[in-house]
Amino acid sequence: QSCQCLAWKPRPVGLGGGPVESQHVVAGYSDGTVRVFSVSRTEMELKMHPHAAALTAIAYSTDGEMILSGGKDGIVAISSPRTGMTIHVLADHKGSPITVLQCTRKQYHDFGVEGGELWLATSSDRRVSVWGSDWLQDKCELLDWLSFPAPAGPEGLDSLPPSLAAFCPWEHGVLVYVGGGMQKEALFYITVGGGAGLQVLRKISLPAFATSLSLSPATPFMAIGFAASWPGPEPLLSGGGLLRLQPCPAGDPQDYAGHDDTVHLCRFAPSGRRLLTASHSAVLVWELTGA
């Protein structure tokens, strides 16, 4: 089976780097299984089978006590690595592959929902769901939806750039969304909860549709990757894939052309001082200097 996605288990708060013995990776596979590996022992510790379709996204809860997994069929499962049991199966995105799963801590009474976890799921049909959870009480409540109409095309959703979303580390209660639509832009939304819907806070214009996204956890910067071309009548950019470093909420972006192909992955280090990017033929590590 092929590994489709993976995530590091977060370290307990206050332990810093932590010993290597405590490091674990969870991976999602093409046969619908979720497997947990010990890094120090380089062996599999747990195998679960919460999905009937190939996995496309996976994440740990912020405390590492739950595993969130999303499949090609749009099903999201929440499983316990302690018991190996799947405690929730959510079909809200059914029919469209899950592209992003992300968790973040929240204030206990944010959005009128008990529990300390806020998480989002994004699917390729340009929909984002925002959830509040209390894992100890097995509670999982849908707070809001973000949904866009997809432009009509002969190849359907497969011809569109990926739908990507992330919680904003430096702005409380804000998420960022990029994806193929009518406009090439990054949208900042306030997650207001209570059924009031998501409100647009600001928009940042982009030179093309984004293919990857990462928000720095330490400084107000956003890294965005672009394709050299995308299926359609005309290419988005000439030459290789472009990497853009965008200051937020405003400022002049800095563009870099280190990749010869589509930049399909951007990921800031926890310190925010380094950025990893990947294309088909290269993995680059960038160091951020100055402010």
Whether the CB-CB separation of 101 and 121 falls below 8 Å is answered with yes
pLDDT digits (tens, 9 = 90+) for 109-135: 566 666 788 999 999 999 999 998 988
For 58, the token pair is: 């996976």
Rounded mean pLDDT, 52-81: 96
Domain spans of the chain?
Answer: 148-290
What distances in angstroms separate CA 278 from CA 87, 192, 211, 237, 259, one per listed residue?
A: 34, 34, 11, 18, 8
Whether the CB-CB separation of 176 and 146 falls below 8 Å is answered with no
In 3D, which of 183, 45, 66, 53 has the Cα closest to residue 123?
A: 53
The 3-state DSSP composition of the chain as helix, strand, coil percent (nearest 5) reads 5, 45, 50
pLDDT digits (tens, 9 = 90+) for 55-69: 999 999 999 999 999
Rounded mean pLDDT, 212-222: 94
With a CB cutoff of 8 Å and minimum separation 6, the contacts of 29 are: 1, 2, 3, 4, 35, 54, 55
CATH superfamily of 148-290: YVTN repeat-like/Quinoprotein amine dehydrogenase (2.130.10.10)
Instruction: Report the length, in residues, of the chain.
Output: 291
For 28, the token pair is: 């999602």
Query: Highest mean pLDDT range out of 141-150, 157-166, 265-274?
Result: 265-274
